[in-house]
Amino acid sequence: MQKSTLQDYLLASIKKNLPPNCSLVDVLQNLLQISQAGAYRRAKNETNFSLEEVVILCRHFNLSVDAYLDIRTENIMVQYYRFVDTDSFKHYLETILARLRLIADSPEGKVVSADDDLPILQHFRYPEHTAFKVYYWLVSMLSPAVEKPIFSPTFIDEELLQLASEIYEVYSQIPTTEIWTPDCANTTLKQIQYCEEMNLFESQDLKQTIKQQFAYILSHLESKAAMHPHYQLYLSEVQIDNNCIWAKSTQGQEVFIRHQSFNVVHTDAPNFCEDTYNFLETIIQKSTLLSGVAEIQRNHFFTTLKEKLYAI
């Protein structure tokens, strides 16, 4: 990296981690114990950070000093989001929402994802279906010895459902490319079957609501793939081992990777993000386009998914 680019990279990384309504100049002034004028010059990249200041900032914001100094190593800095309870899930949702808003507000903002399951954010279209997915994830983490609670939409806090709804709305505005597999609906279908076999639905009507909403989600995405110019859908016959999301905004690239089914690893390490993007592009080149004029392939694919759903 060039010298100015190094400082730009650090400033962009800090801005990503700033709380809402928090001034970059005020943060630099407080953390580095410098004058407001000095903080302003650093924020405008008119004055370079000293090495000591870089260390202070990287430690405070959990950033990689190696990445800032452009040290070529195989090590990268990541953030790990663990989903262990509703509080941690709320933090996860808030983080995702902040990232998506940044991407949506960026002229060059876009998302590319490869999914062995239906993309998680697409599940957030309807409150009952969102509640079911969150319920299942929470129940899956319980010990086998613990009696599982009955599923009702009221089991999930309204605040979480509202966050999920906001995430869906913002995500829907972003130019997106999604890579699915033929089995991408199987996880949700198995979750519905499991809850039915274990008598975990509050009522049969609720089970039918969840199935119907999942069908609506599939139908909506089928229509979106046919008509929306900023939504590209591909079908990959290559097995995708986990869900991976690459995103770009004015602040650079970032990658989210699912870990241990529910947890998420996030990084904005440039080399890692670039490698991930190239990998996704390779998958796309080997995949079948379902968007636009690919009506026959698209209709066959979604009809097969819905037949699986109606069969359970």
Q: Report pLDDT digits (tens) over 167-206.
A: 999 999 999 999 999 999 999 999 999 999 999 999 999 9
Torsion sign across C-alpha atoms 218, 223, 225, 229: negative
Amino acid present at 87: D
The whole-number pLDDT of residue 3 equals 46
Question: Under CATH, which number does the domain 79-310 receive?
Answer: 3.30.870
Q: What is the 8-class DSSP label of residue 149?
A: P
- Check pLDDT > 60 for residue 19: yes
Residues of the chain with CATH 3.30.870: 79-310
C-beta of residue 31 within 8 angstroms of C-beta of residue 57: yes
Q: Per-residue pLDDT averaged across 39-63, rounded? A: 87
Region label for 24, one of left (φ > 0), alpha (ψ between -120 and 50) or beta (otherwise): alpha
The whole-number pLDDT of residue 109 equals 95
The whole-number pLDDT of residue 277 equals 95
Whole-number mean pLDDT of the chain? 88
- Check pLDDT > 90 for residue 226: yes
Instruction: Classify domain 3-69 by CATH architecture.
Output: Orthogonal Bundle (1.10)
Helix (H) or strand (E) segment spanning residue 189: helix 186-197
- Check pLDDT > 50 for residue 108: yes
More confident residue, 213 or 262: 213
**Residues 252-261 pLDDT 10s:** 899 999 887 6
Helix (H) or strand (E) segment spanning residue 29: helix 24-32
Q: 233: which 2 tokens?
A: 């859908």
Lowest mean pLDDT among 30-39, 88-97, 186-195, 269-278: 88-97
- Check pLDDT > 60 for residue 72: no
pLDDT band at 1 (very low <50, low <70, confident <90, very high): very low
The whole-number pLDDT of residue 142 equals 66
The whole-number pLDDT of residue 141 equals 72
Residues of the chain with CATH 1.10.260: 3-69
More confident residue, 164 or 241: 164
- Check pLDDT > 90 for residue 302: yes
The whole-number pLDDT of residue 258 equals 85
pLDDT band at 112 (very low <50, low <70, confident <90, very high): very high
Distance CA 286, CA 133 (A): 31
- Check pLDDT > 70 for residue 28: yes
- Check pLDDT > 60 for residue 70: no
